[in-house]
Chains A and B, each alone.
Chain A
């Protein structure tokens, strides 16, 4: 029970820290009437989030560089960082519908990702005994980790979560593209 509470706290704390820091930066920048950061944070945040999907490519063996477990870690941190930059990019501007819808999808994807991480941790904890068996079978630490990762991501709970996460990400991808093109159409390069 304590572990569940701790993990849930971590989930909410991450959301809070990302949003609170973005709001704080927006307040400071607004105070000095700074607006030039909007374009750069928007582009940087988008690129960082896109780059974080290298994990997805690695998982599907579209590339072989790095271990999937490490890429998952990068995927998480880069998504958090990218989301933070997008929130700074948005600031308090919720006027146009296209960017707002994009922001909503990004927020849902962000929370969904954190929930996925929570389910992943839970599934991994359930496989604790399996780790012991693998150790006794004489596998190296690296082999054990790889094995556990495969078993974890293959868990039923994560499969169900993925079924919801994937469409969110897909729609987000479409909206990001739509928002970027429409912004460039009107604001130019």
Chain B
């Protein structure tokens, strides 16, 4: 038998009637769009709702639940409720947002009188976020639509010292060395984005900020970091050896060839290649009362690659060498230097004589 819509609708209505009857006894599971707040949880639907009407404000004050003039913890809130007396509670309040749901929704702040300050109702949370630094012009960052959604701008901050709000973090990164001119490196758009310039640093000693390496090369170099390092980048470092002695083709040897002790690079010797007769040199210098005979350039002058190295102690030291053997210029290499390095000792022997 073919059934019509009406037939099924009657069946459906019967089922719905059963649901309606169940709903009369247990309405919440059938109709409640969400749990009511904890404090309302013991109420029946009919305590707040009236048939075919929005929950009337009268329901709120029935049984003295919410008494106008006493509603709210703060005086300003009580005062506000007094002034909006007679208005529909549902303009600002709602429910069915869950047991812990927020039942106060945004209301029109324009209803408030001019003299009411934000802090009269809102918790200023001075200790937590503001630290009482932002003044009392809340509207500089906050809006009445959403207290938590803030649009921060440094231009609106009345205080000027950065460390009033920002952690100075002296122990961590600055070590108290950069002074209080934060803006030298930091911008107001992003505190963590820094553009560092050494020109802004008030202290001059590199080691005040940079940790000097503890290896022997650096320990023997002292605090003269700029001899090798630049301010644009700490690495790479470049040692201008020419300042002390040019490492030309003939002198491009391992460091310890001249600097025998890595503990102090100021100590050097030429005699590992330039084989002077040691005993003869000791004797010769001793005759002059010179004990420090190993620092050749202290007294002897050498002219190399267009520069003079060493000290001219003419008059102070008679053994000052300024002869043709040490005086050569640029590419005017001596014939002997073009020979094999292995023969170097022999050649030097030839130039400077044998022991004694």
> Which positions in A face B, CB cutoff 8 Å?
93, 95-99, 101, 163, 166-167, 169-171, 173-175, 177-178, 182-189
Whether a CB of chain A sits under 8 angstroms from the CB of B244 is: no
Given contacts A170-B11, A171-B8, contact A186 B20 (CB under 8 A): no
For residue A171, which residues in chain B have a CB less than 8 angstroms away from its CB?
8, 11-12, 15
CB distance from B26 to the nearest CB of A (A): 10
Find out whether the CB atom of A98 lies under 8 angstroms from the CB atom of B30: yes
Q: List 27 A-B contacts (CB under 8 A).
A: A93-B34, A95-B32, A95-B33, A95-B35, A96-B30, A97-B19, A97-B31, A98-B19, A167-B3, A167-B8, A169-B8, A170-B12, A171-B8, A171-B11, A173-B5, A173-B9, A173-B12, A174-B9, A177-B16, A183-B31, A184-B52, A185-B51, A186-B45, A187-B54, A188-B50, A188-B53, A188-B55
User: Restricting to B1-27, which residues have a CB under 8 Å from any CB of A?
Assistant: 3, 5, 7-9, 11-13, 15-16, 19-20, 23
CB distance from B56 to the nearest CB of A (A): 9
Find out whether the CB atom of A182 lies under 8 angstroms from the CB atom of B5: no
Find out whether the CB atom of A96 lies under 8 angstroms from the CB atom of B33: yes
Find out whether the CB atom of B45 lies under 8 angstroms from the CB atom of A170: no
Find out whether the CB atom of A189 lies under 8 angstroms from the CB atom of B8: no
For the complex with contacts A167-B8, A173-B5, A177-B16, 17 further pairs of A-B residues with Cβ separation under 8 Å are A95-B32, A96-B31, A97-B30, A98-B19, A170-B8, A170-B9, A173-B9, A174-B15, A174-B16, A175-B12, A178-B16, A182-B23, A182-B30, A186-B49, A187-B54, A188-B52, A189-B52
Find out whether the CB atom of B5 lies under 8 angstroms from the CB atom of A169: yes
> Which positions in B face A, CB cutoff 8 Å?
3, 5, 7-9, 11-13, 15-16, 19-20, 23, 29-35, 45, 49-55
For residue B8, which residues in chain A have a CB less than 8 angstroms away from its CB?
166-167, 169-171
Find out whether the CB atom of B29 lies under 8 angstroms from the CB atom of A166: no
For residue A166, which residues in chain B have a CB less than 8 angstroms away from its CB?
3, 5, 8
In Å, the complex CA distance between A178 and B35 comes to: 21
Which A-B residue pairs are the 8 nearest by beta carbons? A170-B8, A174-B12, A188-B54, A188-B53, A167-B8, A171-B12, A97-B30, A178-B16
